[in-house]
Structure formats: C-alpha cells, structure tokens
C-alpha cells in the first residue's frame, strides 16, 4: 500500500517569512492533492497535481510535483496568520481512487 510522509510535522514561522512543506511517497504519484484543515473543521481543497514537473499557484501558495513523481512540495510566500492550519497531502489510488493521506504539517504563523 502507498504511504505518504510529510515533513516537517510542525512549523512555526514569523509572519512574512517563506516556508516549504514536503510530501514524499513510497510509490509513484498519479494524482497528488493538497488540502488545508483548521482545527475542528473539514478539509479545504487547495490544489491537485498530476503530471511530473507540474507546478500550480494560487495566491501566495505554490505546489510542485517532481519529475520522478514521488515527491511534492508546498511553498508559501510571505506567510500570514490566515495561512495557519494543518496542511495535508493526499495521493489518489485504489479501486475507488480514494485518497491516502500523510499525517499532516501543523503550521503556526506568529504575528
């Protein structure tokens, strides 16, 4: 079965700083999803990557899927307190194309 490892597990940054979260898969990624979760809430879809080398951006968040398709990174530029939360990567697979998730990265942005 596929396993996803996220690093770091937690991250505390000062407002305005850039940061990167990594997601490494034990198998080739065919569809990689990034979600954000605030405590007590559901998952908010951020981006989906499918092709090796693909890069997508939304506002100050950029996600990339490496050429070998076993790692993805999420980069936040000039972080703000509103970026705080848990970031989860999920890989598409299985008979139902259900998602297998990493354990998440807890991001705290200090004002």
Partner 1 sequence: GAGVSQSPRYKVAKRGQDVALRCDPISGHVSLFWYQQALGQGPEFLTYFQNEAQLDKSGLPSDRFFAERPEGSVSTLKIQRTQQEDSAVYLCASRLRPTDTQYFGPGTRLTVL
Residue 85 interacting with partner 1 (CB under 8 A): no
Residue 7 interacting with partner 1 (CB under 8 A): no
Instruction: Using alpha carbons, select from 14, 6, 7, 8 the residue that is nearest to residue 79.
Output: 14
- What are the tokens at 110? 């200090």
Among 11, 76, 99, 107, contact with partner 1 (rule: CB under 8 A): 99
Q: How far is the CB of 108 from partner 1 (least distance, A)?
A: 15
Q: Convert residues 22-61 into a mask of x (bound to partner 1 by CB under 8 A) and - (unbound).
A: -----------x-x----xxxxxx--x-------------
- Tell me if residue 42 falls in helix, strand or coil: coil
Give residue 66's Cα distance to chain centre.
Answer: 13
What is the total count of residues that contact partner 1 (CB under 8 A)?
23
Instruction: Using alpha carbons, select from 59, 80, 74, 64 the residue that is nearest to residue 7.
Output: 74
For partner 1, which is the closer residue by CB, 73 or 77?
A: 73
Q: Contact, 10 vs 76, CB < 8 A?
A: no
**Residues binding partner 1 (CB under 8 A):** 4, 33, 35, 40-45, 48, 88, 90, 94-104
């Amino acid at each position: 079965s596929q396993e996803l490892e996220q690093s770091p597990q937690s991250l505390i940054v000062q407002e305005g700083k850039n940061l990167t979260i990594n997601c490494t898969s034990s198998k080739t990624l065919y569809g990689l999803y990034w979600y954000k979760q605030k405590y007590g809430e559901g998952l908010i879809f951020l981006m989906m990557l499918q092709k090796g080398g693909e890069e997508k951006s939304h506002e100050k968040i950029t996600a990339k899927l490496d050429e070998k398709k076993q790692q993805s990174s999420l980069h936040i530029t000039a972080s703000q307190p509103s970026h705080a939360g848990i970031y989860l990567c999920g890989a598409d697979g299985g008979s139902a194309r259900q998602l297998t998730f990493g354990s998440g990265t807890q991001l705290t942005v200090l004002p």
